[in-house]
Structure 1
Amino acid sequence: MAAILESLLGSCASKLQNIITDEAILILGVEEELREVLRRVELIKCCIYDAEKRRTKELAVNNWLGQLRDVIYDVDEILDVARCKGSKLLPDDPSSSSSKSAACAGFSVSSCFCNIWSRHDVAVRIRGLNKKIENIFKGQDFFNTQQ
């Protein structure tokens, strides 16, 4: 399981590093939240090797590794959602209508609510993900015990 997790984590960290400066992400205003996700993914990478050595002896470690695998899939999904929603907010995106862009440029409140909602939705998802990762790490008390 460690090899799979290491591969997932490496891919996820690389994707996070690339996406944080992506224009579609910058328009959402969630760079700091994504930097926190990246910091946590890097922390997970540091713990995987020790956990893998202990997983055959301790059921809790095996369960923890499964939780980490699941949360990495969640990270990947949220990154895709963020990129998609951010791209739709860019003025040169073909899926955004020119009337919507023009209305927002003129500060039409009703037409800009969708932009605010997209930004809010992505930010809430990322914060929830950070909380989920934090909770998984709170449950790793088995690392403090002697082998």
Structure 2
Amino acid sequence: MAMVLDAFASYLVDMLTQAAADEVKTMLGVSGEIDKMGDKLRDLKNFLVDADRRNITEETVQEWVGQLKRAMYEAADILDLCQLKAMKRGSSSVDAGCFNSLLFCMRNPFHAREIGTRIKALNQRLDDIKERSAGFKFIDLGSDGDHSNNTHASRHGNPSRETVGDFDRSAIVGDKIEEDTRALVAQIMQTKKDVNDGIKVVAIVGVGGIGKTTLAQKVFNDEAIQGEFSKKIWLSVNQNFGDVDLLRRAIIEAGGDAQPPESSKTSLHETLKNTLIDQKTFLVMDDVWNHRAWDDMLKLPLLNAAATGSRVLVTTRDEGVARGVKAIWPYHHVDTLAPEDA
């Protein structure tokens, strides 16, 4: 429980920290409320490991953890509600970053009062939860025993979040994902409409947590894909990717020799290019927040070395990223599960 809640809290704090950096926080009477919500969640998450250790035997601690979990869900609901409202109005097409949806809600008088009221009410709940935590005398253990590392991660995003190309087949439900997988595989295998000088880029777009990674994993492991491409690379890009680290991981995933950490970007570009020469390559870039990961890091080695017919699949929350990597239109949008599947 502690690891799950800690990861969820880190995700929420990161999202709220970015939102607070925008002009949203100064609008319509919610000045500082977004900052407060992020700060309170950050403080409370530091108690989760000790709370998890104690809630096995202490019923009151179990209740406290439940309250905190429900508060976290409410914070996530607020962010997702803004995203969905923005998508319905088509504001996801605006190149304003992933938080244009929150900005959209706070600028829109039809939504601002509802969102602002929910944020303030949630802050009051978090105050009550934090006040109650004092009676338990929790020890700040942190998720890995290092409070400084946790603080750094929560303030600067969660760059350690990694996804992999493999997946648990037994966890996949619903006919929709099977249909989506077949459609994407067909689109990727199609020889027409190549862009980016012969390398077709396909994009999966959707809000956080809706299943973009799972769908990409299904495509990556499809028998047709596995048989068609001689080099298959899965890269979890994330928000705070490092240029050198991204290139080193691409080389390793492509079957090349691991490069020392102090390697320059120029030498890594050359190594990746040599690894991909005349190889029909399928590259998945998961959780992309900035199209620079493609334009500045990976595009040239693939263009200059990989065989014709190579493909790139990008998952992102932001249509602006899909446009930035010149993905073919229309982008594939991931929707919610059908009621029977849910």
TM-score by length of 1: 0.68
- 1:119 matched to 2:119? The reply is no
For the residues of structure 2 that align with 1:121 and 1:7, how far apart are their CA atoms?
27
CA distance in 2, matches of 1:52, 1:94: 38
Corresponding residue of 2:131: 138
Q: What are the Cα deviations for residues 71-94 of structure 1, in whole angstroms up to 9, with x where unaligned?
A: 101001112234555x58x9x948
Q: What is aligned with 1:107?
A: none
| Runs of at least 5 residues in structure 1 that lack an aligned partner in the other structure | 96-113
Counterpart position of 1:51 = 51
Q: Secondary structure at the match of 1:20?
A: helix
Aligned-partner Cα distance in 1 for 2:18–2:10: 12
Report if aligned partners of 1:33, 1:126 keep a CA contact under 8 Å in 2: yes
Count of matched residue positions in the alignment of Structure 1 and Structure 2: 123
Partner residue of 1:81?
Answer: 81
Partner SS for 2:56: coil
Aligned to 2:19: 19
Post-superposition CA distance 1:55-106 (Å, at most 9, x none): 1221111111111111101001112234555x58x9x9489xxxxxxxxxxx
Query: Aligned with 2:21: secondary structure?
Result: coil
Identity between Structure 1 and Structure 2 (%): 25
Note if contact 2:25-2:32 (Cα within 8 Å) is conserved in structure 1.
Answer: no
Larger radius of gyration: 2
| Mean Cα deviation higher: 39-48 or 114-123 | 114-123
Which structure has more RCO (C-alpha within 8 Å, separation ≥ 6)? 1
Give the TM-score, by structure 2 length: 0.32
Relative to total residues, which structure has the larger helix share, 1 or 2? 1
> Secondary structure in 2 aligned to 1:139?
helix
The equivalent of 1:34 in structure 2 is 34
How large is the RMSD of aligned CA atoms in angstroms?
Answer: 3.1
Partner Cα distance (2:76, 2:45) in 1:
16
Moved over 4 A (4+): 26-29
Q: How far apart are residue 18 of structure 1 and its match?
A: 2.0
Alpha-carbon distance, 1:26 to partner: 5.4
- When you count strand as a share of all residues, which structure comes out higher? 2
Could you say if the C-alpha distance between residues 122 and 139 of structure 1 is closer, same or farther in structure 2, counting changes exceeding 3 Å?
same
